[in-house]
Structure 1
Amino acid sequence: MIADHLPKSIYGFTLSSLREYLLERGFAKYAADQIYRWIYRHQDLDYSSWSNVAKKIKQHASEQWSFQLPKIIRQQLSSDGTVKFLFEMQDLKSVEAVVIPAKDRLTLCLSTQVGCAIGCTFCNTATQGFERNLTAAEMVGQLLTINRWLGQQRPDSMQVSNIVYMGQGEPLQNLPQVKIATTIFMEPLGFGISQRKITLSTSGLVAGIEQLKDFPPVNIALSLHSPFDQVRSSLMPINRAHSLEDVLQAIKSLPLKAHRSITYEYLLIKGINDRMEDVQELVRILDHTTSKINLIRYNQFPGSSYQAPSDQQMIWFRDQLISRGLVCTNRASKGEDIMAACGQLKSAQQN
Structure 2
Amino acid sequence: MDIDAKKWLSGMSPAELGTVAADAGLRPFAARQIADWLYKKRAADIAAMTNLSLAARRRLDELGYTAGRIEPCEVQVSKDGTKKYLFATLGGRYIESVYIPDGERATLCVSSQAGCRMGCRFCMTGRQGLQHHLTAGEIVNQVLAVPESERLTNIVFMGMGEPMDNLENVLRAVDILTSDWGLGWSPTRITVSTIGVIPAMERLLRETKVHLAVSLHDPFDEERRELMPVQNKYPIREVTAALRNFDFSHQRRLSFEYIVFGGVNDSPRHVEGLVRLLKGLDCRINLIRFHAIPDSPLKGASPERIRWMNGALNAAGITTTTRSSRGEDILAACGLLSTQSHNRR
Q: Same-fold call, TM > 0.5?
A: yes
Instruction: Kindly state the Cα deviation for residue 71 of structure 1 after the two structures are TM-superposed.
Output: 4.0
Instruction: Name the counterpart of 1:129.
Output: 129
Q: Which amino acid aligns with 1:63?
A: E
**Equivalent of residue 315 in structure 2, options 317, 323, 347:** 323
Q: Secondary structure at the match of 1:96?
A: strand
Q: What is the TM-score with the length of structure 1 in the denominator?
A: 0.90
- In structure 1, how many angstroms separate the alpha carbons of the residues matched to 2:28 and 2:325? 45
Q: Which amino acid aligns with 2:102?
A: A
- Contact 2:160-2:335 within 8 A present in 1 as well: no
Instruction: Name the counterpart of 1:339.
Output: 331
Instruction: Name the counterpart of 2:12.
Output: 13
Residues 273-300 of structure 1: per-residue CA shift (max 9 Å, x gap)? 1000111111111112211101111110
Q: Which amino acid aligns with 1:138?
A: E
- Contact 1:195-1:217 within 8 A present in 2 as well: yes
Q: After the TM superposition, which of the residue ranges 65-74 and 270-279 deviates more from structure 2?
A: 65-74
**Equivalent of residue 218 in structure 1, options 210, 223, 228:** 210
- Contact 1:201-1:222 within 8 A present in 2 as well: yes
Structure 1's 44 and 211: CA in aligned 2 closer, same or farther, altered over 3 A?
closer
Q: Secondary structure at the match of 1:12?
A: coil
- In structure 2, how many angstroms separate the alpha carbons of the residues matched to 1:308 and 1:302? 13
Asked whether 1:308 is paired with 2:300, we answer yes
Instruction: Name the counterpart of 1:155.
Output: none
Instruction: Name the counterpart of 1:176.
Output: 168
- Contact 1:209-1:250 within 8 A present in 2 as well: no
Instruction: Name the counterpart of 1:154.
Output: none
Q: Which amino acid aligns with 2:29?
A: Y
- In structure 1, how many angstroms separate the alpha carbons of the residues matched to 2:137 and 2:185? 17
Instruction: Kindly state the Cα deviation for residue 247 of structure 1 after the two structures are TM-superposed.
Output: 1.1
Q: Which amino acid aligns with 2:338?
A: S
- In structure 2, how many angstroms separate the alpha carbons of the residues matched to 1:144 and 1:265? 27
Q: After the TM superposition, which of the residue ranges 96-105 and 3-12 deviates more from structure 2?
A: 3-12
Count residues in correspondence: 340
- In structure 2, how many angstroms separate the alpha carbons of the residues matched to 1:270 and 1:10? 47
- Contact 1:293-1:327 within 8 A present in 2 as well: yes
Unaligned runs of 5+ in 1: 152-157
Instruction: Kindly state the Cα deviation for residue 6 of structure 1 after the two structures are TM-superposed.
Output: 2.6
Q: What is the TM-score with the length of structure 2 in the denominator?
A: 0.92
Instruction: Name the counterpart of 1:42.
Output: 41
Instruction: Kindly state the Cα deviation for residue 199 of structure 1 after the two structures are TM-superposed.
Output: 0.6
Q: Secondary structure at the match of 1:22?
A: helix
- In structure 2, how many angstroms separate the alpha carbons of the residues matched to 1:12 and 1:49? 18
Q: Secondary structure at the match of 1:347?
A: helix
Q: Which amino acid aligns with 2:88?
A: E
Q: After the TM superposition, which of the residue ranges 311-320 and 190-199 deviates more from structure 2?
A: 190-199
- In structure 1, how many angstroms separate the alpha carbons of the residues matched to 2:252 and 2:287? 20
Instruction: Kindly state the Cα deviation for residue 231 of structure 1 after the two structures are TM-superposed.
Output: 0.8
- In structure 2, how many angstroms separate the alpha carbons of the residues matched to 1:256 and 1:309? 30
Q: Which amino acid aligns with 1:271?
A: G
- Contact 1:45-1:67 within 8 A present in 2 as well: yes
Q: Secondary structure at the match of 2:72?
A: strand
- Contact 2:88-2:95 within 8 A present in 1 as well: yes
Q: Secondary structure at the match of 1:13?
A: coil
- In structure 1, how many angstroms separate the alpha carbons of the residues matched to 2:305 and 2:335? 22
Q: After the TM superposition, which of the residue ranges 243-252 and 318-327 deviates more from structure 2?
A: 243-252
Instruction: Name the counterpart of 2:281.
Output: 289
- In structure 2, how many angstroms separate the alpha carbons of the residues matched to 1:224 and 1:78? 28
**Equivalent of residue 240 in structure 2, options 236, 248, 266:** 248
Q: Which amino acid aligns with 2:67?
A: F
- Contact 1:185-1:192 within 8 A present in 2 as well: yes
- Contact 1:19-1:32 within 8 A present in 2 as well: yes
Asked whether 1:228 is paired with 2:225, we answer no
Q: Secondary structure at the match of 1:226?
A: coil
Instruction: Kindly state the Cα deviation for residue 139 of structure 1 after the two structures are TM-superposed.
Output: 0.8
The 5 Å alignment of 1:76-87 reads: 76-87=76-87
Instruction: Name the counterpart of 2:139.
Output: 139
Residues 319-344 of structure 1: per-residue CA shift (max 9 Å, x gap)? 00001111000011211110103x45
Structure 1's 337 and 76: CA in aligned 2 closer, same or farther, altered over 3 A?
same
Structure 1's 4 and 332: CA in aligned 2 closer, same or farther, altered over 3 A?
closer
The 5 Å alignment of 1:42-191 reads: 42-64=41-63, 65-146=65-146, 149-150=147-148, 158-191=150-183
Q: After the TM superposition, which of the residue ranges 170-179 and 258-267 deviates more from structure 2?
A: 258-267
- In structure 2, how many angstroms separate the alpha carbons of the residues matched to 1:185 and 1:310? 38
- In structure 1, how many angstroms separate the alpha carbons of the residues matched to 2:325 and 2:79? 12
- Contact 1:218-1:259 within 8 A present in 2 as well: no
Residue identity (%)? 35
Unaligned runs of 5+ in 2: none
Q: Secondary structure at the match of 1:72?
A: coil
- Contact 2:46-2:66 within 8 A present in 1 as well: no
Instruction: Name the counterpart of 1:349.
Output: 340
Q: Which amino acid aligns with 2:148?
A: L
- In structure 2, how many angstroms separate the alpha carbons of the residues matched to 1:62 and 1:4? 12
- In structure 1, how many angstroms separate the alpha carbons of the residues matched to 2:190 and 2:15? 20
Q: Secondary structure at the match of 1:11?
A: coil
Q: After the TM superposition, which of the residue ranges 82-91 and 251-260 deviates more from structure 2?
A: 251-260
